[in-house]
Amino acid sequence: MAARPLLLRALSGETTDRPPIWLMRQAGRSLPEYRALRARADDFISFCLDPEMAAEATLQPMRRFALDAAIVFADILLLPRALGQEVWFETGEGPRLGPLPSIAALEREAAAASARLSPVGETLGRVRGALEPERALIGFAGGPWTVATYMLEGRGSDRSLARSLVFSDPAKVEALVAVLTEATARYLVMQARSGAQALQIFESWAELLPEDVFERLVIQPHAEIVRRLRQEGIAAPVIGFPRGAGALVERYGAESGVQGVGLDVQAPAALGRRLQGAVAIQGALDPLLLRAGGEALGRRVEALLRQWSPGPYIFNLGHGVLPDTPLAHIAAVVDQVTAWRSR
């Protein structure tokens, strides 16, 4: 019988001889083979919604590096598009979104949205069929608040408009987050049924929220998503990544119901250890250090391994791989982590 994937063991709270490793944004522009594949697609969204191409992009980093998990190639902004808001990517400038549909219109589309995203399910099925059984497959969605910031702002930004609306029009923001919570739960159920063995919620813009707002717009929606998954019979563990939450990540770990908590580059060692009493932790190597490489990189990897082993710990970055990261640096970190033993 094939060994249970190390990632799933860590997420069920087991301490492991070495932590599993995968990297956020491991698929993508740092890989020349990705850039070649991307050049064949008309635009980024059609690439994400083409199961053959998306499965290939998912598998590319798995062929190159001894990673313990693959993450499905998709994007957090596929969901607003499936809910009826126009989304496109300006080359070199990032995402752009059309006018925000009314809440009523979004609510009408919430049930149909995950069916429109069935190509992502098909990608997951293809990848699961091609991936070795010891390597786990991760599905994902954006956190409702993070996705709401893009829908409200119409682009990537400093989120000051969305954060202002929290106070000037709280009913609108809460209604939007509620629709997204529902649609995200359905989308993640579909991904789990299609082959995702773990699910990550990327709450990339959890920073700068006061505690009561963080509770209402991050902790409670994530708890609701986990509750809905379990209600639908989905047992797959959930990793929540409230990037920038700072000290609030402790409340997040205790109250959101997730099995794993992603930590960003600032997370103190002691905070991670406290969280490990309740959940698996994931992170928190600085992508800038991964790009810079050298002896400092090796020393930091060793320090992270020591401070958070024997776990439960999942080795990862504190944010995504930067496009101009030398591949030799990624290979060196994967080698260092997979060769390491806590005892």
Q: Which of 19, 95, 139, 240 binds ligand CP3 (CB under 6 A)?
A: 95
25 catalytic residue (yes or no): yes
Q: Which is nearer to ligand CP3, 121 or 309 (CB)?
A: 121
> Does 325 interact with ligand CP3 (rule: CB under 6 A)?
no
Nearest to 71 by CA among 193, 253, 201: 201
Catalytic residue among 4, 29, 64, 108: 29
At closest approach, how far in Å is the CB of 207 from ligand CP3? 11
Stretch near ligand CP3 under the rule CB under 6 A, chosen from 87-95, 223-231, 268-276, 307-315:
87-95
Q: Could you tell me the smallest distance in angstroms from the CB atom of residue 5 to ligand CP3?
A: 17
Integer angstrom CA distances of residue 249 from 40, 60, 223, 262: 41, 32, 14, 9
User: Residues 76, 162, 165, 238: which binds ligand CP3 (CB under 6 A)?
Assistant: 76
Plot region of 251 (φ>0 → left; ψ -120 to 50 → alpha; else → beta)? alpha
Residue pair 290/297 in contact by the 8 Å Cβ criterion: yes
Size of the site for ligand CP3 (CB under 6 A): 21
CA distances (Å), 39 to each of 45, 46, 77, in order?
13, 12, 20
Catalytic residue among 38, 96, 116, 274: 38
Residue number, 151 or 276, with CB nearest to ligand CP3: 151
**Judged by CB under 6 A, does residue 170 bind ligand CP3?**
no
Helices assigned H by DSSP within the chain: 6-11, 32-38, 44-48, 51-64, 78-82, 103-116, 118-130, 144-153, 160-168, 170-193, 211-214, 220-231, 249-255, 269-275, 287-292, 295-308, 327-339
Which window, 27-35, 207-215, 217-225, 277-285, contacts ligand CP3 (CB under 6 A)?
27-35
- Pairing mode, if any, of strands 198-203 and 238-242? parallel
Residues between 46 and 75 with contacts to ligand CP3, criterion CB under 6 A: 71, 73, 75
Distance (Å, whole) CA 239 – CA 232? 18
150 is catalytic: yes
Q: What are residue 200's DSSP bridge partners?
A: 140, 239
Q: Please report how close the Cβ of residue 142 comes to ligand CP3 at its closest, in angstroms.
A: 6
Nearest residue (CB) to ligand CP3, 78 versus 110: 78
**Sheet strands side by side (includes 69-71):** 69-71, 136-142, 198-203, 238-242, 260-262, 280-285, 313-317
Region of 20-28, 215-223, 274-282, 290-298 interacting with ligand CP3 (CB under 6 A) = 20-28
CB of 25 to ligand CP3, least distance (A): 4
And the tokens for 247?
Answer: 């000290």
Handedness of CA 31, 299, 10, 235 (dihedral sign): negative
Task: Report d(CA 259, CA 240) in Å as an integer.
Answer: 8
Q: Which is nearer to ligand CP3, 70 or 309 (CB)?
A: 70
Rounded Cα distance, 319 and 26, in Å: 11
Does 320 participate in binding ligand CP3 (rule CB under 6 A)? yes
Smallest separation (angstroms) from ligand CP3 to the CB of 199: 12
According to the binding rule CB under 6 A, does residue 27 interact with ligand CP3?
A: yes
Binding residue for ligand CP3, selected from 4, 13, 25, 250, defined by CB under 6 A: 25
Structure tokens at 330: 């990624």
Q: Which residues are catalytic?
A: 25, 29, 38, 75, 150
Binding site for ligand CP3 (CB under 6 A): 24-29, 38, 44, 71, 73, 75-77, 89, 94-95, 140, 156, 202, 204, 320
